[in-house]
Structure 1
């Protein structure tokens, strides 16, 4: 059997196993082990434990649980509600101000937590009922939060970019800083669409007679500025060469824990236990997926599948942008069925040789891949953000949420096209800050 035929068989079997609902780590591990035994016999079992644990023997992985705890601490507090309320007061006189405030709150909260579902839940619980109460249509209200929540995996610090950096062996610091301008671009596109649709539907100024005093606008800032200062400090420590990602993440996690205790009075043992429990659960899940994906990648490489795919695509006499289009379609389809962590860890070992052969910048592609993962979060049948929003507003049909999300999906596609035409939007800032 040729390596390409073997690769196709692996793809079919992996898809079938994942469709059974088996946990991703166990699915990848069992498929890898099964093909290794089928091709190389039982002697290949000797390499399983060594390969699995050597994949986790990376000091960079320490940053994962630290950033997760950092996000869990902020998500457990009222920081999301306070952030939304503060922006709503400052942007009160802007047409469509409430939708724009919610998208802005999503972008800032995303930078604090790095989690799309957490961003949707924290901002949506307060923002969606308030938007609907003030006359905004249900599709716009829910779609804006579902899409805004996806910014959690693009604006740094981003768990998705950490996973891609580990899988592709690229600088996590460069990936973080590469996501800043595209993150702001995507936020601006979301806001522009929200402003246009609000204006078109007549939601120009709601509660026109309401005036917020300067005191009311400033009173929430003392609660929010310390958290934003932590994000700025973590990013400065990373890009200023002061600390490694793991060290900066550790300090950021500790500071966020201290601040939720001091600012939001989450000092009870039960509150702290919930934060640490959730952080441990998500970290353990990601570590298992990473270990299993390393084993899966080892199996693909040892069977020459990765090399054969890269060689075949490299031999194609087509423009490299057709290759990029095919990769984007692959990622979009995969995003409809699998979570971002699984897609990144499964596909990156296969895609990196192809990208190198086609002379695509891996840092730039990290941003493109992340936006594709964002699309998957609001694309059925497994669009996680859609179900989070549906849980917050059970009286709104899933079809209505999807209808409201669709224009924001088009904004993401437009952002990908803009980055393809102007790749410097992702590559200029990392080169400027960290050198060539």
Structure 2
């Protein structure tokens, strides 16, 4: 059978199996096993266990559970509330400062935890009621937290960037650095829209502020600065050549647990066990998807589907930006239904040769792909962050949360356009810190 037609059958079969309710990992395994059995014979199935476990034979994968432990330890404490309160005290006199405080807290907490749902829950529990009490529109209050939470997969350390680096054999250190300036760009766009929407609402209560003394401003800092110091230390150790990503992640996880115990008195064995249990559950889920995606990628390569698609795309006489637009549409649609890790593992092996042939930088593309995944986190029908916000503030209708988040989707699309016009926003910092690749 023609490999391109076979690729279409694989895509349709994968979508059908995913919508059947099976987990992503099992769906990928069943589709891969079925097509290998039909088109390559039973002998190919003998290689599946070796490929399955071989996909996990990568030292860099150790950084995933370590960074997840960091995030779980932070999420189990009052770090999010303290971070929000610290920013609120320092920015209270700025017009619209409360929504800026929330977005800033989301960005910093996302950098510490690397988890979008945890960021929405931690910052939203305090931020949304406070914004509503001061007269911010419900759409701005809910939408800003939902969008701010999505920054967790872009601002380093990011688990999705680690997965992309492993799937494409790209430097994880460069990928982390590539997300810094685009992350700041997104935060700036989110803040600009929030201030505009607040001003447009015309509610004078929004400009009301509470006076805090300098003592009150400084007394909150010792609770949050240690966590920020760990993030800075982890990144310095990684980029200073002191340790590998896996080693820095392990040290960061240990220090985060110690700070959670010392500062937030996380003494209870039950609480510590909950952190380790939740981290293990999420780590196993991600690693299971990675292993299954390895088998799925082997099937695509063994049946010459990946090579044929790349060759076919190369023969198309279309402008490379038209091609990139088509890829973005595909990623947006995939992100609406699948979690970011699954999309990256399924799409990266196919898309990487296409974008490199078209002359695009794989580091730059990682940022574009990640922003597309962020859009999926605040867009239906899955839109995980939307449901987290709805759980925090059930009296705000899901429709209001969705309409409030749509302008932030526009901000993300604008960020993709800006990065397309100025790709150096993603590539300059990695090249400046780690040296030019070319």
TM-score of the superposed pair, with normalisation by structure 2: 0.98
Q: How many residues end up aligned between the 2 structures?
A: 436
Is residue 241 of structure 1 aligned with residue 236 of structure 2? no
* Offset of residue 96 of structure 1: 1.2
Is residue 4 of structure 1 aligned with residue 11 of structure 2? no
Match in the other structure for 1:224? 224
* Offset of residue 206 of structure 1: 4.0
| Aligned partners of 1:82 and 1:220 also within 8 Å | yes
Match in the other structure for 2:94? 94
Taking the aligned partners of 1:204 and 1:234, their CA distance within structure 2 comes to 43
Match in the other structure for 2:302? 302
Taking the aligned partners of 1:293 and 1:66, their CA distance within structure 2 comes to 21
Within a 5 Å distance, the mapping from 1:305-384 to structure 2 comes to 305-384=305-384
* Offset of residue 200 of structure 1: 1.6
Taking the aligned partners of 1:115 and 1:239, their CA distance within structure 2 comes to 22
Within a 5 Å distance, the mapping from 1:13-24 to structure 2 comes to 13-24=13-24
* Offset of residue 95 of structure 1: 1.3
* Offset of residue 359 of structure 1: 1.1
Taking the aligned partners of 1:291 and 1:127, their CA distance within structure 2 comes to 38
* Offset of residue 207 of structure 1: 6.9
Match in the other structure for 1:195? 195
Taking the aligned partners of 1:334 and 1:208, their CA distance within structure 2 comes to 42
| Aligned partners of 1:78 and 1:264 also within 8 Å | yes
| Aligned partners of 1:154 and 1:371 also within 8 Å | yes
Q: 1:118 to 1:267 in 2, by over 3 A?
A: same
Is residue 182 of structure 1 aligned with residue 182 of structure 2? yes
* Offset of residue 184 of structure 1: 0.3
* Offset of residue 208 of structure 1: 3.6
Is residue 158 of structure 1 aligned with residue 162 of structure 2? no
Q: 1:146 to 1:343 in 2, by over 3 A?
A: same
Taking the aligned partners of 1:209 and 1:2, their CA distance within structure 2 comes to 67
| Aligned partners of 1:73 and 1:256 also within 8 Å | yes
* Offset of residue 23 of structure 1: 0.6
| Aligned partners of 1:93 and 1:205 also within 8 Å | no
| Aligned partners of 1:80 and 1:122 also within 8 Å | yes
Match in the other structure for 2:46? 46
What are structure 1's unaligned runs of at least 5 residues?
Answer: none
Taking the aligned partners of 2:31 and 2:435, their CA distance within structure 1 comes to 41
Is residue 251 of structure 1 aligned with residue 235 of structure 2? no
Please tell me the root mean square deviation across aligned C-alpha atoms, in Å. 0.9
Is residue 84 of structure 1 aligned with residue 107 of structure 2? no
| Aligned partners of 2:114 and 2:152 also within 8 Å | yes
Taking the aligned partners of 1:399 and 1:66, their CA distance within structure 2 comes to 37
Taking the aligned partners of 1:385 and 1:204, their CA distance within structure 2 comes to 29
Deviations 1:53-80 (A, max 9, x none): 1110000000000000000000100000
| Aligned partners of 1:96 and 1:204 also within 8 Å | no
Taking the aligned partners of 1:145 and 1:24, their CA distance within structure 2 comes to 27
Taking the aligned partners of 2:274 and 2:331, their CA distance within structure 1 comes to 34
* Offset of residue 20 of structure 1: 1.1
Is residue 399 of structure 1 aligned with residue 399 of structure 2? yes
Taking the aligned partners of 1:142 and 1:207, their CA distance within structure 2 comes to 18
Taking the aligned partners of 2:68 and 2:330, their CA distance within structure 1 comes to 28
* Offset of residue 202 of structure 1: 2.4
Match in the other structure for 1:129? 129
| Aligned partners of 1:95 and 1:198 also within 8 Å | no
Taking the aligned partners of 1:289 and 1:209, their CA distance within structure 2 comes to 47
| Aligned partners of 1:151 and 1:374 also within 8 Å | yes
* Offset of residue 111 of structure 1: 0.6
Taking the aligned partners of 1:124 and 1:178, their CA distance within structure 2 comes to 27
Match in the other structure for 1:431? 431
Deviations 1:189-208 (A, max 9, x none): 00011111111212466474
The secondary structure found in structure 2 opposite 1:380 is coil
Taking the aligned partners of 2:198 and 2:138, their CA distance within structure 1 comes to 12
Taking the aligned partners of 1:432 and 1:72, their CA distance within structure 2 comes to 32
Larger displacement relative to structure 2 (38-47 or 54-63): 38-47
* Offset of residue 21 of structure 1: 1.3
| Aligned partners of 1:139 and 1:403 also within 8 Å | yes
The secondary structure found in structure 2 opposite 1:264 is coil
